[in-house]
Structure 1
Amino acid sequence: MSKPVHGVTLAEIYAARRRIAGQAGRTPLVRSEALSRRFDAEILLKLETLQPTGAFKLRGVANMIAALLERNGREALAAGVTTASTGNHGRAVAYAASRLGVPAVICLSRRVPDNKVAAVEALGAEVRRVGDSQDEAFGEVERLVAESGMVAIPPFDDPLIAAGQGTIGVELMEDAPDLDHVLVGLSGGGLLGGIGAALKAIRPSLEVTGVSLSQGAAMHDSLLAGHPVAVEEVESLGDSLGGGIGLDNRCTFALVREVMDSHWRVSEQAIATAMVELLEHEKLLVEGAAAVGLAALNEHELDVRGRKVALVLSGNGVSLETLERARALAGR
């Protein structure tokens, strides 16, 4: 069989699992009794909130940096690493760089919440606030690569990043081999694409559902158009799902189109309600982007009766201020 155009295979995902062992943790898959009763299904929660950096992003970053070291040696990172990120990816790069003792510059748009900026800075990385969008922050990354020789670690659009995130799919299959359905937040496509690549290779009948914001959903609009398109970013409780997919996207657009079976968009009220429900009933503090799977089940009344369903809770990067805003919007 020829290698797929996006470059993400099950073999690459298993190689990623070997590389990230000891850096990114294997996270629990736990049953929610309350949600299982409500939806007349077995609802399982994949707790990526328990990663050392509080989000799934560490998997892809650790895989890419380890692969660079394997291929090119330590000199590959001599000038340091850089990236643009809405927060979680930047924190993952800062964490991995700090462990290797190499400099890191994280470029963030001014829309990124202050708590996420502080989390990156606490790991010793330099933060540069650039512009009002991810695309403007990416421009600074390109300048650093061209002028300083730094190595760019992309947030999603790279086979090594997607393969790292795909290790979640392998863990899901090991812990719940009879899983029927998984719901994953969808933005740039590295998370859903990687998980979907693993799941479809192991259990092709499993349904993979992506969940996007109701506005500013770049992958959603790109899939409808048949090619990557630009969108205007909007303020959202699910800020980690904002940003474009890159007009020159070379990996995740094709990957998501291949592995995703269904796709829903969710409102701010639905995200808020899901965040509050997960805190009140599951005692889990999650960011808006991590709550969109439950938001889709609630808002669209998805029929999952009798099925085994996993919700990927992707991160815990939420401030108390944002949580209070979510509670107010949810009427709690």
Structure 2
Amino acid sequence: MMTSLSFREVWEAKSRIASFVQSTPILYSEPLSERTGARVHLKLEHTHPTGSFKLRGAANKILSLPEEDLKKGVTTFSTGNHGISVAYIAAQLGIPCTVCISNRVPEAKVNRLKKLQAGVEIVGKSQDDAEARCTELERDEGMTVIKPFDDREIIAGQGTIALEIMEQCPDVDEVIIPLSGGGLLSGVAFVMKSIEPSILVTGVTMQKGAVMQESLAKGKPVILEESYTLADSLLGGIGTENRYTFPMTKAFMDKGVLVEETHIEEGLIFTLEHHKMVVEGAAATGIGHLLHCNDLQGKNVVVVMTGNNIDHQAVTDLLAKS
């Protein structure tokens, strides 16, 4: 399977983003290890200043642009975390930035975008609607669209996570990755499989609106209606003209798992109680899967903890319910 991505591009990304993106810690989870019989490590991508792994891809893409394009500014469509990361890098570089989002994006993420001085446009009910507005801004104002996932530089940037995992936990047997548009999984899985093909890659997502999973089942990108989920960062389409992440996910993901909403909630509460970490639903999806997985005995497992941008009220409501 040709991916149009090379291992060199990931190393170039690591060098390019070094002044903006620091390596994140990896944490051995004793409670999860005891629960599963595996040796479980958590890759703490929510510790970036933007609160998510998306900083890596956004930095790599923006820093790869020519100077004349940077002056015209950047725009993106996002369920929140990618938009926050694009806005953060744009602010660091002092360039114009407009983030287009749907009306499903939580208020906490909208407020974060505004604090970063990004222009925010709320468009329609889905990421596809927001993407259409970005295309208009590109056409009318010359802004560069920074795609959330289906882009070589974005994928290469996310792939730098795998370089760190291999340094921090070189005996990893399986990596568990939240799956939405597939930029994270494509980058991490590409690097993992390039280094050691036997490493298992498991993609986890919520049950309703799992667009990548449904697209893989149908053999082509499909469009699904979005519905409420605690893992709101995993919402959004993959694009009917998907060039990279659909074929790369198909090539490199060994197993795709749909995680029940109650298990995602359980994962968030477990992380808060046992590790004193507040993470968003997307990050808790991997933990929710682990808590109900029976085939990890003796394995070295790494779970990518993707982000922490969650409304305080959502956490309060969840604690009151539990």
TM-score > 0.5 by shorter chain: yes
Contact 1:5-1:251 within 8 A present in 2 as well:
no
Name 1:48's counterpart in structure 2: 45
Contact 2:158-2:187 within 8 A present in 1 as well:
yes
Contact 1:40-1:305 within 8 A present in 2 as well:
yes
Name 2:116's counterpart in structure 1: 123
Contact 1:25-1:52 within 8 A present in 2 as well:
no
Name 1:302's counterpart in structure 2: 294
Greater CA drift, 149-158 or 36-45: 36-45
Contact 1:273-1:326 within 8 A present in 2 as well:
no
Name 1:314's counterpart in structure 2: 306
Name 1:326's counterpart in structure 2: 318
2:143 pairs with 1:146: no
1:163 maps to which of 151, 156, 163: 156
Matched-pair identity in %: 46
2:89 pairs with 1:92: no
Per the TM alignment, residue 319 of structure 1 is displaced from its structure 2 partner at its CA by 1.2
Per the TM alignment, residue 302 of structure 1 is displaced from its structure 2 partner at its CA by 3.3
Counterpart secondary structure, 2:64: helix
Alpha-carbon separation, structure 1, partners of 2:210 and 2:53: 20
RMSD between aligned alpha carbons?
Answer: 1.0
Name 1:268's counterpart in structure 2: 261
Counterpart secondary structure, 1:160: helix
Q: Deviations over 1:202-248 (max 9, x none)?
A: 11100000001101010000000111000110111000000100000
Name 1:82's counterpart in structure 2: 75
Name 1:63's counterpart in structure 2: 60
2:35 maps to which of 33, 38, 42: 38
Alpha-carbon separation, structure 2, partners of 1:237 and 1:324: 13
Unaligned runs of 5+ in 2: none
Question: Which letter maps to 1:67?
Answer: S
Per the TM alignment, residue 78 of structure 1 is displaced from its structure 2 partner at its CA by 1.4
Contact 2:77-2:131 within 8 A present in 1 as well:
yes
Per the TM alignment, residue 153 of structure 1 is displaced from its structure 2 partner at its CA by 0.2
Alpha-carbon separation, structure 2, partners of 1:135 and 1:302: 37
Counterpart secondary structure, 2:291: helix
Contact 1:296-1:302 within 8 A present in 2 as well:
no
Contact 2:35-2:291 within 8 A present in 1 as well:
no
Contact 1:273-1:327 within 8 A present in 2 as well:
no
Alignment of 1:21-36 (within 5 A): 21-36=18-33
Q: Deviations over 1:110-148 (max 9, x none)?
A: 000000000111011010000000000011100000011
Counterpart secondary structure, 1:24: coil
Name 1:249's counterpart in structure 2: 242
Per the TM alignment, residue 326 of structure 1 is displaced from its structure 2 partner at its CA by 2.8
Question: Which letter maps to 1:37?
Answer: E
Name 2:190's counterpart in structure 1: 197
Alpha-carbon separation, structure 1, partners of 2:80 and 2:4: 26
Counterpart secondary structure, 1:14: helix
Name 1:222's counterpart in structure 2: 215
2:230 maps to which of 237, 256, 261: 237
Unaligned runs of 5+ in 1: none
Per the TM alignment, residue 257 of structure 1 is displaced from its structure 2 partner at its CA by 0.7
2:107 pairs with 1:114: yes
Question: Which letter maps to 1:275?
Answer: L
Question: Which letter maps to 2:271?
Answer: L
2:5 pairs with 1:8: yes
Question: Which letter maps to 1:16?
Answer: A
Per the TM alignment, residue 106 of structure 1 is displaced from its structure 2 partner at its CA by 0.2
2:251 pairs with 1:258: yes
Question: Which letter maps to 1:79?
Answer: K
Alpha-carbon separation, structure 2, partners of 1:192 and 1:8: 14
Alpha-carbon separation, structure 2, partners of 1:254 and 1:316: 29
Contact 2:69-2:143 within 8 A present in 1 as well:
no
2:205 maps to which of 206, 212, 217: 212
2:284 pairs with 1:287: no
Contact 1:110-1:132 within 8 A present in 2 as well:
yes
Name 1:182's counterpart in structure 2: 175
Counterpart secondary structure, 2:256: strand
